[in-house]
Amino acid sequence: MALATASLVTPVALWIIPLLGVVLYVGQILFEASPPTRVKILILSAVAGVVAFVGSTLTGWHDPLHYKLSLDDATYYVQAKAIAEAWHQHFYPVLHAKGSEPYYIGSLHTGYQRLLAAIFFLVGPSFRFGICMNIIAVCLIPIFAYRATWILLSSCGNEADTGAPEKGAFFAALLAAIYPAYGYWSSWLLKDVILAVLFAMSTTVLLDLTRSPKRLEFYAFAAVALTSLGLFRVYAALSVMMGAIVYVLAIISRKWTVALVLSLALSIIITSYSDSGGLFLSQLLYSLGTLLPESVKTIPDSLLYFAQGIPRLLLAPYAWVKAHGLAPMYELYPAMWVLYLVGYPMCLLGFLELLRRNVRLAAIPLIAWFSSALILLMAYGGDAPRQRLYMDFVVFVLAGCGILAKRRHLAFLLCYTIIAFFAAIQLLTLHRRV
Distance, in Å, from the CA atom of 174 to the CA atom of 143, rounded to the nearest integer, reads 10
The amino acid occupying position 199 is: F
Torsions phi, psi of 93, nearest 5?
-60, 140
Q: Domain containing 346: what range? A: 3-433
Q: How many CA atoms lie within 13 A of 191 on its CB side?
A: 27
Q: Which of 136, 174, 130 has its CA nearest to residue 22?
A: 136
DSSP track, 237-263: HHHHHHHHHHHHHHHS-HHHHHHHHHH
For residue 411, with 0-12 CB atoms within 10 Å meaning exposed, 13-18 middle and 19 or more buried, which class applies?
Answer: buried
Q: What is the largest CA-CA distance in the chain?
A: 67
Q: Tens digits of per-residue pLDDT, 351-372? A: 999 999 999 999 999 999 999 9
What's the sign of the alpha-carbon dihedral 218, 219, 224, 225?
Answer: positive
Q: Where are the beta strands (DSSP E) in 322-426?
A: none
Query: What's the structural domain count of the chain?
Result: 1
Whole-prediction pTM: 0.90
Distance, in Å, from the CA atom of 120 to the CA atom of 84, rounded to the nearest integer, reads 6
Upstream peptide bond of 317 is cis (omega within 30 degrees of 0) = yes
Distance, in Å, from the CA atom of 156 to the CA atom of 354, rounded to the nearest integer, reads 8
Q: Which of 50, 149, 224 has its CA nearest to residue 42?
A: 50
Q: What is the pLDDT along the chain (434 residues), one digit of tens a residue?
A: 344 444 435 666 677 778 889 999 999 999 999 999 999 999 999 999 999 999 999 999 999 988 655 678 998 999 999 999 988 888 888 776 666 566 667 677 888 998 999 999 999 999 999 999 999 999 999 999 999 999 999 998 664 566 789 999 999 999 999 999 999 999 999 999 999 999 999 999 999 999 889 999 999 999 999 999 998 999 999 999 999 999 988 887 766 777 767 777 777 777 666 666 665 556 555 555 556 666 766 777 778 888 899 999 999 999 998 776 555 578 899 999 999 999 999 999 999 999 999 999 999 999 999 999 999 998 889 889 999 999 999 999 999 999 988 889 999 999 999 999 999 999 998 877 75
Torsions phi, psi of 378, nearest 5?
-70, -45
Given phi > 0 = left and psi -120 to 50 = alpha, else beta, which region is 63?
beta
Distance, in Å, from the CA atom of 159 to the CA atom of 161, rounded to the nearest integer, reads 5
Number of Cβ atoms within 10 Å of the Cβ of 306? 17
